[in-house]
Structures are given as C-alpha cells and as structure tokens.
Amino acid sequence: MIKFNDRFEFERDKYQWILTENVLGKDKNGNDKIKQEKTFHGTLRQVIGVIIDKEVGNCEDLEQIIDLLSNAESILADRLTNRG
C-alpha cells in the first residue's frame, strides 16, 4: 500500500488500482470514526486525478487551486520517493 497522505493511500492488484480514502464520520453513538472508502480504477492516472480533484475541493481560492495543480506531479513524486 502506498500512502499519499493521511487521507489517501493506494495499491495495485492484478487487475486494477485501488484507492482508499480515510473519511471522518460518526458511529451510531455519535463518536468520531474513521471510515475507509475504496474506489477502483484502471490506471494510476485515474487514481491521481481523483486525489487531485478531491484535494482541490479543500482549496479556499483560485490561487491555492493553481498552486496545487501546478505542483501536483512533484508532490506525488516526493510522496512516492519518501514513503519509506
């Protein structure tokens, strides 16, 4: 499993890429709970696209979006090379 950040991690099996997103939710008693949501993708490019799309949703202005998109490739490369 390759951890991108605290929110996302992904892995490849024989057939597909599996993206796991850790989502904060509530249990039946109203306590905080981390739920893992998995999505399945044919290519790594699709996985990266989903991560970028969801991270852009956290941006507060256009400048942050431009910064995220312009640095996305180097951010991912850094995460992959420094994951150990």
Where along the chain do its domains lie?
2-81
Query: Taking Cα atoms as reference points, which of 33, 11, 14 lies closest to residue 22?
Result: 33
Compute the distance between CA of residue 37 and CA of residue 68 in angstroms, rounded to an integer: 23
- In which band, very low, low, confident or very high, does the pLDDT at 79 lie, cut at 50, 70 and 90? low
Compute the distance between CA of residue 12 and CA of residue 18 in angstroms, rounded to an integer: 6
Q: Report the range out of 15-24, 47-56, 66-75 with the highest average pLDDT.
A: 15-24
**pTM for the full predicted model:** 0.74
DSSP H or E stretch at residue 9: strand 8-12
